[in-house]
Amino acid sequence: MFKGWIVFGLILGYLCLLFLIAYFAERRERIGKSIVSNPYVYSLSLAVYCTSWTFYGSVGKAATSGFSFLTIYLGPTLMAALWMVLLKKIIHIAKENRITTISDFIGARYGNSLFLSAFVTIVAVIGITPYLGLQIKAIISTLTVLSGQTAGIAAAGWYITLLLGIFAIIFGARRLDASERHEGLIFAIAFESIVKLMAFLVVGFYVTYVLFGGLGDIFDKIKESAYGDLLYLGGGTQVSYMEWASLLFLSMTAIMFLPRQFHVAVVENSDISHVSKAMWLFPLYLLIINIFVMPVAFGGLLLGGRQADADMFMLTIPMGQGNSMIALLTFIGGFAAATGMIIVESLALSTMVMNSLVMPAIFRFNEMRGFPLVILNLKRVVILACVFLGYIFAVSIGEFYSLVDIGLKSFEAMTIFAPSLIIGLYWKRGNRIGALAGISAGFIVWFYTLLVPAMLKAGIIENQGFFSMIFNSTLLNPHALFGLQGLDKWSHSLFWGLFFNLFFYVGLSILTRQTHEEERQALIFVESYAPQALPGRADYSLQEIEVVLEQYLGRRDAAGIVDGFLFRNQVQRENLSSLDLSRLRDEAMRILSGSLGSAIATIILEDKLLITEKERGDLSHSIKQMTDTLRLSRQELQEANRSLAYLKEFSENIIESAPAGIVTIDAAKRVTYWNKEMEAITGIARTDAANRTITSLLPWISIKTFEKSEKREVTLQTPAQQYFKIDINPFTDPSGGFVVIFEDITEKRKMEEQLLQALKLASIGKLTAGISHEIGNPLASISSLVQELRSIPAESHGEEPFFSDSLSTINSHIERIARIVRSLGDFARISTKEKVMSSISEILDKTLSLVRYDSRFRGIDLSMDIGAIPLMKVNPDQIQQVFMNLIINALDAMPAGGKLLIQMKTEGGSISITIRDTGHGIDKTVMEKIFDPFFSTKPLGKGTGLGLSICYGIIREHNGTIIIKSNRGEGTVCTIRMPVAS
Amino acid sequence: MKYKEFWVFLFVLGTLLFNWPFLDIFSLVLPYYFFGVWSLFILVVCIVATLKETKGRDTDV
């Protein structure tokens, strides 16, 4: 046993040491040699999670329910794996938006709602109070155990609470700069983490290896003892798998949303990259500190300790063995665990209370003299109030519950924030009404299922009358809400809390609309990594910023902030650029945000620095409109970007896979795009073609081709005897340029020539039957005359008049045959594609001279009406083929004879050729198909179906038109028009 | 698997490993199972986070 004053002196000594350590760290920070800004101190500061609950409560829990205490450390270990995704995003948002508390964070997410922020603060204060009480209860209990007396302990507890409150004030509320990192405090917390870890390991080692024969020895003994079932989980043991899973979930949310964890992990984070090391260093710390929990718990039981007193095994074991030094060390370890939590938690809670409850009520009194000191003192009072709230809980309700039980109530309270915060980070539709309703529902369930039974147990509420009726009803029993039985109290509360929380949050978010401010904030949070669209304003002076800071922080601090800024940035007061002013304004905003909350800081800076209230209102409205427009524009832009990207890809695919060469050129005829097919056609790579003039790449194209800015189509022949059909389409853009499409028609040309030739041969074939008669008759006549001439004696040849007549006849017949054969030969020769100046009427004559020999022509009454036709640049072979096809068709239509009228005249700038017959005509039903390739009305084998199709192609190539009008039984009229210019 | 997806996967895997039915399967050796899997989990997180950190630093350079 130790005397009370010794223990009290020890506490004072430890706190002084802590103060010196913190002072040292702050001094190093001031001279620019920070020893805090590194991942190791950051990880150790996160270990503020391990409180006196870990130090004493875990041993108590292990002694009563075995492994279940591990859930409190496995949950954070698992959650740490998500830090790279979740914590980094939260830190990023908090830093970008100058957020310093979890209530600010939730309020800012839902439209900078002060009301929601205030509500979250109230829930957090109520939820965390038991946890603060737990620490104070642990300190009071350990004091009792250590001193061995109960008299005066409550007063000592009161003094120690006050001391801790003062310590929290020294580190957290010496000045109004909560947005600044408290390097001294964090270093002290990191030091405390080492102290509690070392103390735990020393006690663990002492119990395991000094009092017992090692881990194996303790576990073997406990297995054989009455406490053997502590080594198992699940059915039939102290802890069901359901309770295990619930506790695991509770601890996962606690590590993220406990105000002190948010403070050290988010607000005090100096470098976001520290998270990647902390995500394994912090779980490693948890693993190490838990190694000896079970050995100490089992050791205590094996040494005769009672399960009910297991919370104090860490102290009672060394004291029972007479080892006072280890007992003192344990006390210091436990005290370190409790103080760290109390200081950081009260600081975090006080910042929440100040920002969300106090400042909104008083910030308009800024003109009051000494206003900064008022704020500072209020914050100090709030810190003390938070600490003493915990003390009241410890001495009123706390004594009825174990440390773990109290801690879990607070953990459960933190799950209330999980849906609104986590879902709100990824779901834009979550709104303020949904969040308020969800948090309210969660809080009511938590209060009713966990806190009300605690009050009942403590006698604050009596289970009589109205309360008895409610608590014992089937539906409203706090341990079996709505008749749900079979769950432990943690799982039961968690189930209903989360159910209603999610139900109202999601349901009302879907059913109600967001305000514009909410939409804007949702976008900022959900798309936190998107670049910030609105830069800070800089249209204010240094003096204006200084005045605002003075009003809220005091003249000295304001001057210190401004001077510090000028010194750090090596700039003079007189030479501040607008960028410097913008940065100073941001710094002022950060400092005020930390002290007063981001919402209030924004209002103050807007009020003070910019404009009058009315102007501010107008400006606010305009900014809102602009922000809305920007937000919408941004969304539309994103949509449009996606569509554009898709269209670009789609178009490129089409262009690249098109079987034609596609080139774009600018006004200077330089190539700006060159597709794959162009590479194949020309053998010039895209990279080589870029930025070169098209005429230098393809010299066979004349520069004149691109002189006129109009859509055109030309056919060009390359020196390599390739033919290209080139479509030239000018850009509508005023900057000029063309899209040029190259189609290699060399093969097509060859095929056309071959087809034309084949058609000629077909025509000759058709003519052969008729012409054979023409050749046969003179041949028969020649033959009979030759027979006659042979019968005349040779000596009388010169005397017979018959002889000379016969020779004359033979000669004329031979000439006729020769003409026919020559005509056929002329027609059959391979034609060229060249256009030359020709007489259309001569071409018609040539055609008729050939057709005339056809026997079918004998019954035809041919009429000609040929006007004065100028010479035209045409391909004579092709035009002759057209005439041949049309006349043969006319002959075929008049097998029994008829009239054929051919007219040719000039009309304006073109010539008109009409071929009219009196044949059987064409059925109306097939008129639409007559120019289709392979369509024929003639019997099978009589026609190829290509005649009219070829005619159509040839006339189109001469820029002309061909129209056929016909009625069944009324003959056919075919009219060709061609421009003389062609 | 993307970097962020890996962490979500690891979280889900860890949650599964520290719940039923695995706890039931290893019920006879729970102390070894807890501290073994716990250590392994931390080791995996450490390796992946360190590798990524080094890679990121190299990229930055």
Q: Profile chain A (982 residues) by mean pLDDT over runs of 10 residues.
A: 78 90 87 87 95 90 92 96 94 86 92 91 91 86 82 79 87 64 88 95 95 93 90 80 93 94 92 93 97 95 91 92 90 92 91 88 76 84 91 79 78 93 94 96 94 84 83 88 89 95 96 88 84 51 80 78 84 80 79 70 62 52 64 71 83 83 87 87 86 86 79 82 85 79 84 74 66 69 74 65 74 75 64 78 86 79 89 87 88 88 89 92 81 70 71 86 88 91 58
- Residues near A924 by Cβ (< 8 Å), separated by ≥ 6? A967, A968
Q: In what order do the strands lie in the sheet with A661-665?
A: A671-674, A661-665, A738-744, A723-730, A712-717
> What are the two backbone dihedrals, phi and then psi, of residue A911, each rounded to the nearest 5 degrees?
-105, 150
- The structure tokens listed for A686 are 């895209």
Distance to chain B for A504, nearest Cα, Å? 26
Q: Which residues of A touch B27 (CB under 8 A)?
A: 232-234
- Residues near A934 by Cβ (< 8 Å), separated by ≥ 6? A944, A945, A946, A949
Q: Please tell me the predicted confidence (pLDDT) of residue B58.
A: 42
Distance to chain B for A171, nearest Cα, Å? 33
Three-state DSSP string of A500-527: HHHHHHHHHHHHCCCCHHHHHHHHHHHC
CB A45 within 8 A of CB A39: no
From the list A82, A244, A280, which residue is nearest B8 (CB)? A82
The amino acid that residue A254 corresponds to is A
Contacting B residues, span 30-59, partner chain A, CB-CB under 8 Å: 30-31, 34-35, 38-39, 41-42, 45-46, 49-50, 52-53
Cβ contact B18–A294 (<8 Å): no
Sequence length of chain B is 61
Q: Please tell me the predicted confidence (pLDDT) of residue A124.
A: 94
> What are the two backbone dihedrals, phi and then psi, of residue A793, each rounded to the nearest 5 degrees?
-60, 150
Angle at A167 between CA A164 and CA A168, to 5 degrees: 90
Q: Which residues of B touch A280 (CB under 8 A)?
A: 42, 45-46, 49
From the list B3, B15, B42, which residue is nearest A280 (CB)? B42
Q: Cα–chain-centroid distance for residue A318?
A: 59
Q: Which residues of A touch B12 (CB under 8 A)?
A: none
- Written as one string, the DSSP assignment of A200-254 is HHHHHHIIIIIISS-HHHHHHHHHHSTTGGGG--STTSSS-HHHHHHHHHHHHHH
Greatest Cα pair distance, chain B, in angstroms, is 51
HSE, CB side, 13 Å, CA atoms: give it for residue A506: 11
Cβ contact B24–A234 (<8 Å): yes
Q: Please tell me the predicted confidence (pLDDT) of residue A457.
A: 82
Q: Find which of B42, B47, B54 to mutate to test the A interface (most A CBs within 10 Å of its CB).
A: B42
Q: Find which of A58, A65, A217, A280 to mutate to test the B interface (most B CBs within 10 Å of its CB).
A: A280
- The structure tokens listed for A414 are 């933190």
Cβ contact B15–A80 (<8 Å): no
> What are the two backbone dihedrals, phi and then psi, of residue A865, each rounded to the nearest 5 degrees?
-135, 85
Kindly state the helix (H) or strand (E) to which residue A893 belongs, with its residue range.
Answer: helix A876-893
Q: How far apart are CA A112 and CA A283, in angstroms?
A: 34
Q: How far apart are CA A820 and CA A764, in angstroms?
A: 12
Angle at A624 between CA A430 and CA A106, to 5 degrees: 30
Q: Which residues of A touch B20 (CB under 8 A)?
A: 234, 241, 244-245
> What are the two backbone dihedrals, phi and then psi, of residue A730, each rounded to the nearest 5 degrees?
-70, 145
A292 closest CA partner among A226, A197, A194, A224: A197
Q: Please tell me the predicted confidence (pLDDT) of residue A608.
A: 52
Distance to chain A for B10, nearest Cα, Å? 7
Q: Which residues of A touch B35 (CB under 8 A)?
A: 287, 291
Cβ contact A241–B10 (<8 Å): no
Q: Which residues of B touch A284 (CB under 8 A)?
A: 42, 46
CB A196 within 8 A of CB A50: yes
Cβ contact B19–A244 (<8 Å): yes
Distance to chain B for A670, nearest Cα, Å? 39
On whether any CB of chain B is under 8 Å from the CB of A244, the answer is: yes
Q: Please tell me the predicted confidence (pLDDT) of residue A750.
A: 80
Q: How far apart are CA A280 and CA A270, in angstroms?
A: 18
Chains A & B: contacts with CB separation below 8 Å: 83
Angle at A381 between CA A376 and CA A384, to 5 degrees: 130
Cβ contact B23–A280 (<8 Å): no
A248 closest CA partner among B19, B12, B24: B19
> What are the two backbone dihedrals, phi and then psi, of residue A900, each rounded to the nearest 5 degrees?
-125, 120
Cβ contact A78–B18 (<8 Å): yes
- The structure tokens listed for A769 are 């039957």
Q: Please tell me the predicted confidence (pLDDT) of residue A613.
A: 47
Q: Which residues of A touch B8 (CB under 8 A)?
A: 82, 85
Cβ contact A84–B41 (<8 Å): no
Nearest residue on chain A to B53, alpha-carbon basis: A276
- The structure tokens listed for A651 are 């178009």
Cβ contact A248–B45 (<8 Å): no
Distance to chain A for B15, nearest Cα, Å? 7
Cβ contact A232–B27 (<8 Å): yes
Which DSSP state fits B19?
S
Kindly state the helix (H) or strand (E) to which residue A665 belongs, with its residue range.
Answer: strand A661-665
How do A671-674 and A661-665 pair as beta strands? antiparallel
Contacting B residues, span 2-31, partner chain A, CB-CB under 8 Å: 3-4, 7-8, 10-11, 14-15, 18-20, 23-24, 27, 30-31
Whole-structure pTM value = 0.62
Q: Find which of B20, B43, B51 to mutate to test the A interface (most A CBs within 10 Å of its CB).
A: B20
Beta bridge partners of A233: none
From the list B4, B20, B52, which residue is nearest A276 (CB)? B52
CB A400 within 8 A of CB A458: yes
Q: Please tell me the predicted confidence (pLDDT) of residue A539.
A: 59
Distance to chain A for B56, nearest Cα, Å? 10
